[in-house]
Structures are given as structure tokens and as C-alpha cells.
Structure 1
Amino acid sequence: MKKLIAFIILATGFSIFSPAQAQTKIKLGHIDFAVLYSMMPGLDSVKKEFEIYNKSIQDQYAAMQSELENKFMDYQANMNTMSEIIRSTKEAEINDLKERMDSFEQTATQDLQNKEIDLTEPIIEKARKAVEDVAKEKGYTYIFNSTEGLLLYAQPSDDIMDMVKAKLNITKPTPKRPTQELPPQQ
């Protein structure tokens, strides 16, 4: 009997909440975030700053490589006339420089990744905020990123690119992404 009463209470509770949930309208939209990002103001200066930073690291590495080549050529040219102590010292210098170059390369790779994140994060966040603002203003429930094309099927939804561009004062025309055609099935 207690189970029956509990069931009736639960069923009544669900019937009270069901009409409210059924009336909730879902509004879907999509945007190609990669295209939006490519049109963001300030992206050109970020790319330029990153290229300058990257070049400075490449220049440092090239200087180390040049130093290594010079030491190695000197070592090879004078190897027969060096005493054993000098030869082993030169070999140790060459090996030490190789190790420093390897370490520099690993550190530089991580440094470049961090620099790219530091430079692009504010632009990405500004674009995300604009998408979020447009979605809230226009009453969208969900906005999908159509960049990856992970959605295999969906009923038509609104492309909010023009609304977000207006929010960000972007006047550039939206570039069209090439569509990938599937090979014919046999």
C-alpha cells in the first residue's frame, strides 16, 4: 500500500512538471568558429608578434648550430695534432653543445606553444563571448560549432555568423569553406 501511495505521488509530481517541460522550445544555431576566428580584429598583429618571437628563437638556434659546426670543423682539422687531453676536452665541448641544443629545442617548442596560447587566448575568448551574447540575445538554446563537421545530421538551424560579426563590428566578407564531397559508394 505504501508503495502504491508513493507511486501515485511520484506520478502526480511528474504530470505537474511535464507540461512545463513540454512547452520549453529548443532553438538551435550554428557557427563556423574557425572562420569567425580568421576574421577577428587584431589577429594580424598577433600573427606578426608570434612570427617575430619565432624568428628570434630560430636565430638563437642557428647561432648555436653555427658554433657547433665551427667547433667540429676545428676539431676535425686539428685532431691529429692535438694532445689527448685537448682532444677529449674538445670532444666534451662538442657533446655539451649538442646536449644544450637538444635541450634548447625542447624548451623552445614548449615556449612557442605557450606564446601562441598567450597571444590567441584573448581573441578566442572575445569571439566566444560574442557567440554567447548573440545566443542569449536571440534566445538560442544551443549553438553548434560547424568547423569540425562532427554532426552527421541535424535539422536545419540558424547560422549566426552574421549576427556575431555585427556584434564584433567585423565587416570582412565571410569566406566560404570548401565542402568535402564523399566518394561514391559502390
Structure 2
Amino acid sequence: MLKNFTLATLLLLTTSYVNAQTKIAYIHMQQLISSMPETKRALDTLQLYEQELNKDGQVLVTEFQKRVALFTKEEPTLKPDIKDIRIKELETAKASIDDYKMRMDQKLALREQQLTDPIIARAKKAVADLAAEKGFVCVLDSSKDILVAATCEDLMAPVKLKLGIK
């Protein structure tokens, strides 16, 4: 009997201790990251890079348009074999433009990742550090449409304070 009572008491204390340890918080990571000053700088840098790449691509498009206009003008007088050669040249030029666009998109995605990875890492570290300081075992990202319970604490304000964001 005493053994059962001791076991029940121990079980009750353990359960209370475990429940006391499960503090959960939430934060809207997208909002946090977009409010960081380095995010604006990264987006501005990315936009300039995209404009630079577009400028190079526009040269290819302009030249292609000139060649199409010339072909359209000369087409009625071209011999069939010359016409076929010109059409193949235009197809090659069009493929070159498509290839450039694909490479541009890849370069842009890579540059975006290079610029945003350190920002995301800094935000995650600040959230993790604050969670450890406040004793949270789990922090949910509310920007991912996760249901937030009433017992959760919003970490947005303390994390912004930790990062020096107003």
C-alpha cells in the first residue's frame, strides 16, 4: 500500500514537472525577416542585379527583333533554300534568348539565396537564443498557418528588441 502511494506520488510529481517544462511560443518568421534592415538592403541589391541581367538580355531581344523585321521585309524575294537558312538562324537566336533567360533565372535565384541565407540564419539564431533564455521548448512559425493555442507566447516583440529592430 505504501509502495503504491509512493509510486503514485512520484508519478504525480513527475507529470507536474514535465507539464511545467513544456512552454511553447510562436513567432511570424516572415514578418520578422521582412522587418530586418538587412532584408531591405538585400532586396535592393537583388533588384539592381536583376536590372543588370535584364539589360544584357534586352540587347539579345532587340537584335532578334531587328533580324525578324529584316527577314519579314526580305522574305517575299528570298529563294526557298536561303529562306530556310534564315529561319534556322532565327530559331537559333530565339533559343539563345531562351537559354539566356534560364541562366538569368538561375543566377538570380542563387544570388537571392546568397543574400538571404545569412539574414534567415541571424533571425533563427535570435529566436533560438530568446527561446532558450525564456525556457521555451518549442517555437512555432505562425506564418506557416499553424494553429496557435491560447497558452502560447508571441515572441515577435522580444526578438525584434534582441535584433535592435524598432
Shorter-chain TM band: 0.7 to 0.9
The alpha-carbon deviation at position 16 of structure 1 amounts to: 7.6
Corresponding residue to 2:78 among 76, 82, 88 = 82
Using the TM superposition, give the Cα deviation of residue 57 of structure 1 relative to its aligned residue in structure 2, in angstroms.
Answer: 1.9
Shift of 1:149: 2.4
Correspondent of 2:106 among 90, 96, 110: 110
Hey, what's the Cα distance between the residues in 2 that align with 1:134 and 1:60?
46
2:17 to 11, 18, 23: 23
Residue 119 of structure 2 corresponds to: 123
The counterpart of 1:165, out of the listed 148, 152, 160, is: 160
Q: Percent identity?
A: 26
Q: What SS class does the counterpart of residue 69 from structure 1 fall into?
A: helix
1:4-26: per-residue Cα shift (whole Å, max 9, x none)?
A: xxxxxxxxxxx988854651221
**1:56: how far off?**
1.5
Count of matched residue positions in the alignment of Structure 1 and Structure 2? 157
**CA contact 2:34–2:40 (8 Å) conserved in 1:** no
Specify the alignment match of 1:65 in structure 2: 61
Structure 1's unaligned 5+ residue stretches are 1-14, 172-186
Counterpart amino acid of residue 67 in structure 2: K
Displacement of 1:49 in angstroms is 0.7
- Give the TM-score normalised by the residue count of structure 1: 0.75
- Greater per-residue helix proportion: 2
The TM-score normalised by the length of structure 2 is: 0.83
- Per mean C-alpha deviation after superposition, the further-off stretch among 107-116 and 93-102 is 107-116
RMSD of aligned residue pairs (Cα, Å): 2.2
